[in-house]
Amino acid sequence: MYEWLFYIFAGLMLVSGFMVVANPFTRSPVASAMFLVVAIVSMAGLFVMLNAFFLAAVQVIVYAGAVVVMFLFVIMLLNPVERSRRRGWILGVVSALLAPAALVLLLLKAFYALDGGDIAETPVLEGGARELGELLFSAYVLPFEVVSVLLLAAIVGVVVLNKRETE
Amino acid sequence: MPAEVVDVVDRGNSKMSEELKFIVFSLMKVGAVAGVMMGMIAYVVLAERRVSAFIQGRLGPNRVGPLGVLQPLADAVKAFFKEDFVPAYTRKVYFWIAPALAMLPPLMAVAVIPFGSRLGGQKMVVADLNVGILYTFSVVSLAVYSIILAGYGSNSKYPFLGSVRGSAQVISYEIAMALSVIPVFMYTGDLNLSAVIGHQTGGIWNWFVFKAPISFIIFLVASFAEANRHPFDFPETENELVAGHNTEYSSIKFAMFFMGEYGNMIAGAAIMATLFFGGWTLPVFGLDKPAETLFVGILHILIFLAKVVVFVVLAIWVRWMWPRFRFDQLMDLGWRRLIPLALANILGTALLLWALN
């Protein structure tokens, strides 16, 4: 039964991920955003199956609960009309080819590194809040602080842009 | 059959029955919680109508059955048999999904809340997750989609304005809500809700409402805003937006938005009772230890329900005693008062715990 849950979540994620970028029924950006929510929630399901409960909960809170709501907010307020697809299409094609190629390379490397070894040997990790917090403040403290500075810079940037407009 | 094979088969069987037992008992608990929740929603609607009537010097619905106790039945029949009118200009898919999404989050959120100690060998909680409260927040954060989709799907002016307001409000107060409970978990050192209750046993002064009063006040205010309850019911301010996001809805679809609001109220009350008022425990007569007899087990469930009812009545009372805020006042309160206060509260608690150790 456990394997079936994996196939359900993974299938849902792939199908809704496809619907985000290439929905054959409608071009509405709201539909894309809603399928993105389905993809995110299915991904949280996969995290739960990996015992990463904290990651699953945070994934739903941050991405489904806040980020996509922001997307919808912007879509509904600005009502974007369909832009011309000509501009920057080379960049789009190049990145669309490069990203999957890099991913396939990474996966191939991982599969060859396996070399018939036993996968089940790896210990089951309980991805709780405590373990994650300890790692964030010990082994990964530098990347963690760099990311927070980046976010702070974004906040300051937004405030500066807003101030300029009102003056 | 060789002995080892019998052994393996036996173990397989007992594992199977263990799994079966888990599934059966979980289904029973899910059914019980969902049933009690739906029943409470029906009667909270009646309570709201009666309490509001008493506050305004009226009698309220008292004709169906003794003291009007069968009124929810009449309401349900009315909701189902009214004409379900769908305006032609709506976006059908979103228009249909939105009412269902309104009911889902409150029903899912109560899954991690311990509603009693134990009955027999079973813990009285549907899912005793070790990230308990984060699960609740993640489910509650999805409630905003019903408002957004109702506004977008209705495809008309007032629902749209209501849904834009609603989504801004819910995102803002989610931050204050999540920040407000952090001190509770700093005291407990665990995100599991059973552990939070265990930490509040042994004397009424161990209840977090006394240990972390600022957290409780911020959480109370934010929970009203999250449930779109008065004095923060901006998605449907009837004097400026007709009925906000549910203007175009009728019949059972409207009733589902209505039930979703009351479900949110009950879920919020249950979380408050668990986090700040000791959940199913009472600090007298040794009622703060897990039950050994059936009678005490049932008593624990009743204590928890009583605490929930107190907070639900508080929410109703506030609705009929307070004027509505203005939207900019709401944003000001959320971003410039509650969030800084919650951050200062976290820092203060951290300093206190550091000094005590």
Q: Say which residues have a Cβ less than 8 Å from residue B2's Cβ, sequence separation at least 6.
A: none
Cβ atoms within 10 A of the Cβ of A10, count? 15
Model confidence at A106: pLDDT above 80: yes
Q: Can you give the pLDDT at residue B1?
A: 45
Share of chain A above pLDDT 90, in %: 22
* A127 in reach of chain B (CB within 8 A): no
Is position B24 within any domain? Answer: no
**Sheet strands (E) in chain B:** 118-119, 122-123
Model confidence at A102: pLDDT above 80: yes
Q: How many domains, chain B?
A: 1
**Phi/psi of residue B247, nearest 5 degrees:** -55, -45
Q: Distance, in angstroms, between B11 CA and closest chain A CA?
A: 19
Q: Can you give the pLDDT at residue B11?
A: 53
Please report, as a single letter, which amino acid is at residue B273: A
Is position B43 within any domain? Answer: no
Is position B30 within any domain? Answer: no
From B151, which residue of chain A is nearest by alpha-carbon distance?
A76
Q: Is the dihedral of CA B100, B104, B107, B111 positive or negative?
A: positive
Is position B243 within any domain? Answer: yes
Partners of B119 in the β-ladder: B122
Please report, as a single letter, which amino acid is at residue B76: A
C-alpha angle B313-B317-B320 in degrees, rounded to nearest 5: 145
Q: Can you give the pLDDT at residue A121?
A: 55
pLDDT band of residue A134 (cuts 50, 70, 90) is confident
Is position B29 within any domain? Answer: no
Domain with B186 in it? 82-356
Q: What is the DSSP letter of B288?
A: T
Interface test with A, best of B101, B133, B145 (most A CBs within 10 A): B145
Tens of pLDDT along chain B (357 residues)?
455 444 555 555 566 677 788 888 888 888 888 888 888 888 888 888 888 888 888 888 888 878 878 888 888 888 888 888 888 888 888 888 888 888 888 888 888 888 877 777 777 777 777 777 888 888 888 888 888 888 888 888 888 888 888 888 888 888 888 889 889 888 888 888 888 888 888 777 888 888 888 999 999 988 888 777 777 777 666 667 777 777 778 778 888 888 888 888 899 899 998 888 888 888 777 777 777 777 888 888 888 899 999 999 888 888 888 888 888 888 888 888 899 999 999 999 999 988 988
Residues of chain A with C-beta less than 8 angstroms from the C-beta of B163: 76
Contact B145 A76 (CB under 8 A): no
**Phi/psi of residue B25, nearest 5 degrees:** -65, -35
- Of residues A15 and B253, the one with the higher pLDDT is A15
Interface test with A, best of B94, B101, B134 (most A CBs within 10 A): B134
Q: Can you give the pLDDT at residue A48?
A: 85
Could you tell me the two tokens for B29?
């608990």
Is position B127 within any domain? Answer: yes
ipTM above 0.95, yes or no: no
Question: Is the distance from CB of A136 to CB of A63 less than 8 angstroms?
Answer: no
For the residues of A52-114, what is the DSSP string, one character each?
-HHHHHHHIIIIIIIIHHHHHHHHHHH-PPPPPS-TTHHHHHHHHHHHHHHHHHHHHHHHHHH
CA-to-CA dists, residue B139 to A28, B8, B112, B164, B208, angstroms: 26, 41, 11, 20, 24
Average the pLDDT over A75-84 and give the result.
68
- Count the alpha carbons within 13 Å of B19 in the hemisphere toward its beta carbon: 8
Model confidence at A118: pLDDT above 70: no
Is position B54 within any domain? Answer: no
- Of residues B8 and A116, the one with the higher pLDDT is A116
Contact A53 B130 (CB under 8 A): yes
Average the pLDDT over A141-167 and give the result.
87
Partners of B122 in the β-ladder: B119
Is position B231 within any domain? Answer: yes
Model confidence, pTM: 0.82
Contact B94 A77 (CB under 8 A): no
Could you tell me the two tokens for B137?
């927040």
Of A58, A69, A73, the CB nearest to B134: A58
Token match 């509260």: residue?
B345
What CA–CA distance (Å, rounded) separates B243 from B147? 12
Could you tell me the two tokens for A111?
């599969």
What CA–CA distance (Å, rounded) separates B197 from B275? 7
